[in-house]
Structure 1
Amino acid sequence: MNKEDLIKKWLDNSLSPEELEAFKKLEDYAALTKLSNHLKFFKPEAYATDKELETVMGKIKAQNTPTSWFKPFLRIAAILFLSFSIYYFASGLDTTIHTLAASKTLVELPDHSSVNLNAGSSLVYNKRAWDDHREVTLDGEAFFKVAKGAKFDVVTSAGTVSVMGTQFNVKERDSYFEVICYEGLVKVSHETQETYLRPGDSFLILDGKIIATEKTQDLGPSWLNNT
């Protein structure tokens, strides 16, 4: 395998143990790893639109000629720079919503699912990846009305809640994790355990222990109606 292929696989974190040993023997190994470590702390200005990213990519492509890439180290540096730029561009597509104390927020997701976010909570999702994977990350408490469609995941530090189309409440604060199903079917994944909830069922973890709960007759969480 030639040097450039080894470097590309290193950038993709796909080197086999044998290839990694060959990569470490490259004369540019020390310079490459040093440059990579410096770029980890580099944050380029975010691209505002896809059009701007295409413009930058076009300029880089236009410069990709034998005369402008004659120095191997410059070529490698450009590959590294582009890789980190694309990474920060992708991470910048996340949408984050925060609620302050004593406030609530209604969030409409790209598929018209809705999320009522309780006070002191945050929600993160990626618009670009939404059609491929309906996933949100929750810190705090929220009530979800999920439009029917592909699997919908709510990721928390205590566990993941997976549904298709339903209404449910998730609360995750400190050592408290609770999921209540009000409509449809909800799957809660905690460590190696999976629990399915039907309307009225709930799943509760307190201080790391799963607590048995009684069925609720409520049609929704009480905090939704609090002013």
Structure 2
Amino acid sequence: MEREQLISKWFNNELNDQELEAFKKLEDYNDLIQLNQALQTFKSEEYDTAEALDQVLNTINSSKKETGSWTKYIIRIAAVLAICFSLYYYTTTLDTTYTTDISEKTYVELPDQSTVNLNTKSTLVFNKSDWKKEREVNLSGEAFFKVAKGSSFHVKTKTGIVTVYGTQFNVKQREQFFEVICYEGLVGVTYNSQETKLKPGDRFLILDGKFIANEKEKNLEPSWLNDESTFKSLPYKQVITEFERQYGITINLVNIDENQLFTGSFTHTNLDVALKSITVPLHINYSKTNNTITLKGE
């Protein structure tokens, strides 16, 4: 039996026992009883049952609409809150990434006031939400770190891991090149599952998969912080790669041994001066065409 028929028969006291049980199972049974009691107060001898029934049904339908409207509203609020919570969780657990382009450097302050100077064409990644639990960054490229004292601090690269407790050091990880220089404090470098401890001035270098012994570093900070790249007995191809990275140009070598060792530096602020710095000592000629430079040996 339809709901409206049950209500009509109940209102006219025409329900049998089976119908009465069905009526009591209606979801708005209590509302109907309360409405009926309220209507009894206004009944008179000329009471119109049909009209009363219409009033009750209209009231109930109106009530159901409002209830449905409120239900939809609450569902919408719940959905919005769920989305907000999801966004909050997502953004607070998301990694923070800093990336520098050609000829670009940037300064990064970590959650514990440790600082990082990121050299050109480099990427630094860390997670703020996990920082108190674990001070850890991932580095691709080159960066100079000043680490605040505290729990162990890890710099992860695809070549090796650097661990410190409060110090200043530089990490450079490029293709077939991995270098760590300690300027202050104590640094541990893990490479091929073996850790090497570096004291101020010590330098750890892996070149083409081989460990290279180096003399002590005398500078108090890496030269690139002052817009200059410095090399000590490194293959010329490493100089050229860094030059291309700093100036955003392409260099072609003609009749030049790219594995010959080079000691020297070049500035990041003047292309012509920089070119002379890397060519004159080796008696190399150069020519420029747009963004391409050709270096030619004698």
TM superposition score category, shorter chain reference: 0.5 to 0.7
Q: What TM-score, normalized by structure 1, do the two folds share?
A: 0.61
Q: Return the letter of the residue paired with 2:165.
A: M
TM-score (norm 2): 0.47
| Residue 122 of structure 2: aligned partner | 121
Unaligned stretches of 5+ residues in structure 2: 1-77, 228-268, 270-298
Matched, 1:136 2:162: no
Listed as ranges, the matches of 1:41-120 within 5 Å are: 55-56=81-82, 89=90, 93-120=94-121
Mapped pair 1:188 → 2:189? yes
Q: Deviations over 1:25-62 (max 9, x none)?
A: xxxxxxxxxxxxxxxxxxxxxxxxxxx99942999xxx
Q: Which has the higher contact order (CA 8 A, sep 6+)?
A: 1
| Alignment partners' CA distance in 2, 1:93 and 1:202 | 34
The amino acid of 1:142's aligned partner reads A
In 2, the alpha carbon distance for the partners of 1:58 and 1:140 equals 36
Tell me the secondary structure at the aligned position of residue 224 of structure 1.
helix
CA displacement 1:43-102 (0-9 Å, x = unmatched): xxxxxxxxx99942999xxxxxxxxxxxxxxxxxxxxxxxxx89x937961000000110
Seq. identity, %: 59
Q: SS of the residue aligned with 2:225?
A: helix
SS at match of 1:89: helix
1:103 Cα deviation from its structure 2 partner: 1.0
Bigger radius of gyration? 2
Between the two proteins, the alignment pairs up a number of residues equal to 150
Report how far residue 193 of structure 1 moved.
1.0
Cross-structure match for 2:225: 224
Normalized per residue, which structure has more helix?
2
Quick one: structure 1 residues 191 and 53, their matched pair in 2 at CA, closer, same or farther if it must change by over 3 Å?
A: farther
Q: Does residue 231 of structure 2 align to residue 205 of structure 1?
A: no
**Aligned residue in 2 for 1:5:** none
Cα deviation for residue 148 of structure 1 reads 0.3
Q: Which runs of 5+ in 1 are unaligned?
A: 1-51, 60-84
In the TM superposition, residue 123 of structure 1 has moved relative to its aligned partner by 0.2
Q: Check 1:92–1:150 CA distance in 2 against 1; reply closer, same or farther (3 A cut).
A: closer
* Over 4 Å off, 4+ runs: none
